[in-house]
A and B are shown apart, each in its own frame.
Chain A
Amino acid sequence: MSNPITKITHNKPVFEDNDPQDELITLNIGPTHPATHGVFQNVVQIDGERIVSGVSTIGYIHRAFEKIAERRPFYQITPLTDRLNYCSSPINNMGWHMTVEKLLGIEIPKRVQYMRVIVMELARIADHIICNGILGVDTGAFSGFLYVMQEREFIYEIYEEICGARLTTNIGRIGGFERDFNEITFKKIEEFLERYPPVLREFEELFVRNRIFIERTAGVAAVTPEEALEYSWSGPILRATGVDYDVRVVSPYCSYEEFDFEVPVGTNGDVYDRFMVRNAEMWQSLSIIRQALDKIKKEPAGVFHADVPEFYLPPKEQVYNNMEALIYHFKIVMGEWETPQSEVYHSVEGANGELGFYLIHDGGRTPYRLHFRRPSFINYQMFAPMSAGMLISDAIINMSSLNVIAGELDA
Chain B
Amino acid sequence: MDKLTNQYIIESLSEKFGEAVQIIGEPHGLLTLSTSAEQIIEVLTYLKNSESLRFNYLTDITGVHYPNQEKEFAVVYHLHNLFRNLRVRIKVFLDGTDLTISTVTNLWKGANWMERETYDFYGIIFDGHPDLRRILNMDDLEVFPMRKEHPLEDPNRVDKKDFYFGR
Residue numbers of A with Cβ under 8 A of B are 58-59, 62, 64, 66-68, 70-71, 102-103, 229-233, 243, 245, 250-251, 342-345, 347, 354, 356, 358, 360, 369, 371, 373, 377-378, 381-382, 410-411
Give bound CA distance, A243 to B78, whole Å: 20
With CB as the reference atom, state the residue of chain B lying closest to A409. B136
Closest to B32 in A: A343
13 other A-B residue contacts (CB within 8 Å) besides A64-B145, A231-B110, A382-B109:
A58-B135, A58-B136, A59-B135, A59-B138, A66-B121, A245-B82, A343-B32, A356-B59, A356-B60, A371-B62, A373-B78, A377-B113, A381-B112
| Distance A118 CA – B60 CA, assembled complex (angstroms) | 28
Give B residues with C-beta under 8 Å from A. 27-28, 30, 32, 56-60, 62, 64-65, 76, 78, 82, 85, 87, 89, 108-114, 117, 121, 134-138, 145-146, 152
Query: Which of B30, B76, B136 is A59 in contact with, Cβ under 8 Å?
Result: B136
Query: In whole angstroms, what is the CA distance A411 to B28 when docked?
Result: 26
* A345, A369, A410: the one within 8 Å of B30 (CB): A345
Given A58-B136, A229-B82, A369-B64: A381 in contact with B59 (beta carbons within 8 A): no
A79 CB to closest chain B CB (Å) equals 16
Partner of A230, one of B27, B108, B134, B146: B108
Alpha-carbon distance A378/B78, docked complex (angstroms)? 14
Contact partner, A64, options B28, B114, B135, B152, Cβ 8 Å: B152
A250 pairs with B85, CB closer than 8 A: yes
Would you give the shortest CB distance from B158 to chain A, in whole angstroms? 20
Known contacts A232-B108, A378-B114; A373/B152 CB under 8 A? no
The answer to whether A356 touches B78, judged by C-beta atoms less than 8 angstroms apart, is yes
- On whether the beta carbons of B27 and A342 are closer than 8 Å, the reply is yes
3 interchain residue pairs of minimum CB distance: A232-B110, A59-B136, A62-B136
A360 to B110, CA, bound (A): 24
